[in-house]
Structure 1
Amino acid sequence: MSGASEPPQRHPEAGVSAESDTEPASPAAAPEPEPIAEADGEPGGIAAASPTTRSLTRRRVAPAAGAVVAVAAAVTAAVLAGGGGGHGGDSADGKGATATQAADGLPHTAIDVSTGGCGRGWGHPHAGTQVFDLHNSGSAASEVYLSDPKSGKLYGELEGLAPGTTRQMLVDLGSGTYAFKCLPEDTDAVTGPSVTVPGHQPQGAATLPVTQHDLIPPTLAYQQWIGARMGDLARGTGTLKADIDRGDLAAAKRDWLSAHLVYERMGAAYGTFGDADGAINGTAARTPGAVDDASFAGFHRVEYGLWHGQPAAALKAPAAELDKNVGALRDGWSQARMDPAEMGLRAHEIIENTEQFELTGRTDYGSGTNLATARANLDGTREILSLLRPLLTPRDPALPRLDSAVERLQHDLDAAGHGDAWTPLDRLGRAQREQINADTGDLLEQLAPVAAIFDVRRTA
């Protein structure tokens, strides 16, 4: 990247993949730690589902097309490599084939996926861990769910099963009634025959699917929460501008942090901010001299100047531009529309963003306040979880573990704060740094099921 030709980069809402070359020039931070093992709306309403990206790519949590997910206790996915070809010796002719033992030591049953024969082939149901070899004999790609036809609970799902291909669904079934639902592209869903697994074996873990309609109330509530923060943000950047205009750089350093943390608590809304996010909180390209490029703007441009000895005269224009962009964001927020389908994913992305950029010092331009930012990010994740909790409680039996993971990380980060002062990353003791890294990694593991639970699924 070139600082002269590339726009400033903002760290992403961590979630869909890949590395970036974006890193601050001359960061005052420690080296990177070793890794720890659809609805149209009125203005201010809900946006139609569409992917949002920021200046860097994201690592998505939801299963890729063709991946098979066994819906486990917290909906953490067991992904099996699917391939075309054999059905493990089973028949899909609808005559009640018997499950056969395959090379993996598990019983396999061949199941047809089509509008005319959805679920055909499951003639001898039994409890226990087993594999369904799902073969799409139709003409369109299809999703496949294994569910309780009465409650709607999902025990397994498969996405993107192409015509003529076979993929495997690994499940652990207890006694009860089940049915396959086939959802071909551009065609109504078809539910296959109900099949009863005999006996008295407890059923395995399942989850209730979440619809976009379910997510509209918490999304609207979150939009209102963001709107309430906008006034604080604008007042903060206004104060920062006033400090610099009168040459009080000591006050500017204090007020810079206060305003920046307000912005950093808004993590789930960054995608909706669009280009404003880069203008307000962008970072410089990782090339020599990039911090001097005219396109480097926003909070981090002001941070760089304040902590690298630049005079107030050099910071007046960047501070005024930041304040203007924040004001425009505040004034336009009532017209913004967030996508309900992204709410669950955002909770995970915020902390992944924290791990990748704040805990490595990539976004430190001299203030040494990455841990304060991490703490603000955690507040943002807490807010999303609080709004999603009514939907999450009946769907995630591991929710107490998630709550504990949030509390542990908060305790770790609070220990690095001393009033308005925060310990820079390079001054953390090794044990303290390792504990923060480990607890951040654990929280990410606990949040991954949240993203999977709120992956909106078709119902018809």
Structure 2
Amino acid sequence: MSIERKPGPGPSPLMPFAVAGAALLALAGGGAFFYATAKRQSGSTSDLVKVEVGAKACRPNELTLPAGRHTFEIHNASDRPVEWEILDGIMVLEERENIIPGLRQTLAANLKPGQYQITCGLLSNPRGKLTVTPSAASEAAAKTGPELKAFIGPLSEYKVFLALQGASLVTATEKLVAALKAGDLDEARALYVSARAPYRQAEATAMRWADLQTAIDPIADYLEDREKDSHFTGYHRLEYGLFVENTTAPLIPIAEKLLTDVNELKARLRAVKLAPDDVPGGAARLSRRLADGKIESGENAYAHSDLDDLDASLTGITRMAGLVRPLIPESSADLSHELDTRLKAARQSLEALKSGKDYAAYDKVDAPSRRTIAETFRALADTLDKVSNRLAPG
């Protein structure tokens, strides 16, 4: 049954002004939301430690701060995407990746007294210095010390997990080397994707060693001469050769060097000493690192196998979360439920992009879908931070 509709009154002459006013209100609301979010993350804008990354160095290039929690605002003043890291020797303490030219990103870090280095844009650039001096809060924390008893089981199980991933990584890389030596391009392409899975599952710990990360997984955008740079090695150099240059023989020495590096990583994963926060805190840092950089920008620019990588990373994060979940007190059952919900949402955001058993090529995944994945990983990072804080020694 159809209903005849009489034409209503025409649009009011004031309508354009109403629409414009609504738009201004929306912009104002969005600006207020952004400001509130930034303030919530950093405490206040005056508390930010501001660092500008130029083409060749950071400004300032040397920083001195008291021990404790600080929020850094990194401004990319160069014409290339950059990453900014705080290093303790070869160990990566904190990092922020894929900072777009002209934009600013924040990074929060809880710093202990000591001498550190900061990376300043391209991997070839000289490093800056960060000096952290003792404070009353840091001395009190040092006297208290962490309670290890409750973490003995989870840390032991995670060590076994890391050892297994290290062994799998070496085995998978050996198969990739064999395929390259046999000149089997199709097999080598298939093995490239599977060979990265153990690395990504152990990534929360593997990314701590800056020297191996630079050798195993550098991205061309962070190198001065991009794909032509002599430091373009490891997985992504193989990816470029397999999926762009369509070659195998020239990649053999690169793959053999990668095999040497992953054997070293295997040894370090077996020997690593873990602290209580390395499990929940490490999972939180990796989730945020992915959400703030690799998910929306993409990483596998030639094979477009990013969803397989993210699947492996989430598997590792889920394993870590599962180890510490039993430690959450019954009084915080809502936090346990929140953690389960966040893990499920992150998994579903990936599964939605599967066709049968295979993930879609990442260059076919549009920006809104990538943003959805990033948001689920960011929410997961927020919850894992809550878990880390809840399990911190009192």
Fold in common (TM above 0.5): yes
Q: Which runs of 5+ in 1 are unaligned?
A: 6-14, 27-48, 66-139, 144-159, 161-182, 190-208
Q: 1:360 aligns with which of 296, 300, 305?
A: 296
Distance 2:318 2:203 in 1: 11
Shift of 1:444: 2.6
Tell me if 1:414 matches 2:321.
no
Pairwise CA distance, 1:454: 3.5
Equivalent residue for 1:383, pick from 289, 303, 319 = 319
- In structure 1, the residue matched to 2:362 is 425
Instruction: For 1:443-454, list aligned pairs within 5 A.
Output: 443-454=380-391
Q: For residue 261 of structure 1, what is the aligned residue in structure 2?
A: 197
Q: 1:371 aligns with which of 304, 307, 316?
A: 307
Alignment of 1:14-25 (within 5 A): 19=74
The Cα of 1:404 is off from its aligned counterpart by 1.1
Question: SS state of the match for residue 255, structure 2?
Answer: helix
Structure 2 residue 337 is the aligned partner of structure 1 residue 298 = no
Q: Deviations over 1:69-113 (max 9, x none)?
A: xxxxxxxxxxxxxxxxxxxxxxxxxxxxxxxxxxxxxxxxxxxxx
1:272·1:338 contact (CA, 8 Å) conserved in 2? no
Please, what TM-score do these two structures have when normalized by structure 2? 0.63
Local SS of the residue matching 1:338: coil
In the alignment, structure 1 residue 53 sits paired with structure 2 residue 92 = yes
* 236, 240, 244: which one aligns with 2:172: 236
In terms of fraction of residues, the more helix-rich structure is: 2
> Match of 1:412, SS?
helix
CA distance in 2, matches of 1:255, 1:432: 27
Percentage of pairs with the same residue = 19
What RMSD over aligned residues (CA atoms) do the two structures have, in Å?
3.9
Q: Partners in 1 of 2:75 and 2:198 — Cα distance? A: 26
Aligned equivalent of 2:265, options 329, 344, 353: 329
CA pair 332-426 structure 1, distance change in 2 beyond 3 A: closer
Counterpart-to-counterpart distance in 2, 1:185 and 1:348: 22
Question: In 2, Cα distance between the equivalents of 1:273 and 1:288?
Answer: 21
Whole-angstrom CA distance in 1 between matches of 2:227 and 2:167: 29
Is the 8 Å Cα contact of residues 307 and 366 (structure 1) preserved in structure 2? yes
Q: 1:273 to 1:286 in 2, by over 3 A?
A: closer
- Structure 1 stretch displaced more, 396-405 or 265-274: 265-274
* Structure having the higher Rg: 1
Runs of 5+ in structure 2 lacking a partner? 1-52, 58-69, 82-87, 98-105, 113-133
| 1:250-297 superposed Cα distances (whole Å, 9 cap, x missing partner) | 111111100101210112212555522332222234356322222221
| 1:112-158 Cα deviation digits (max 9, x unpaired) | xxxxxxxxxxxxxxxxxxxxxxxxxxxx9545xxxxxxxxxxxxxxx
SS in 1 for 2:258: helix
How many matched pairs? 292
8 Å contact from structure 2 (residues 226, 232) kept in 1:
yes
Q: CA deviation at 1:55?
A: 8.6
Alignment-mate amino acid for residue 324 of structure 1: T
Gap change, CA 1:415 and 1:349, over 3 Å in 2: same
Q: Structure 1 residues 366, 453: closer, same or farther in 2, change over 3 A? A: same
The secondary structure found in structure 1 opposite 2:330 is coil
What is aligned with 2:33? none
Match of 2:379 in 1: 442
Alpha-carbon distance between aligned partners in 2 of 1:434 and 1:353, rounded to the nearest angstrom: 14
In structure 2, how many angstroms separate the alpha carbons of the residues matched to 1:375 and 1:342?
A: 21
Superposition map of 1:3-42 within 5 A: 19=74
Give the distance between the partners of 2:161 and 2:54, measured in 1 at CA.
37
Write out per-residue CA displacement over residues 197-218 of structure 1, whole angstroms, 9 at most, x where no aligned residue: xxxxxxxxxxxx9723432331
Shift of 1:379: 0.9
What residue in structure 2 maps to residue 180 of structure 1?
A: none
Q: CA deviation at 1:63?
A: 6.5
Flag the 1:455–1:358 CA change in 2: closer, same or farther, 3 A: same
Cα deviation, residue 316, structure 1: 1.0
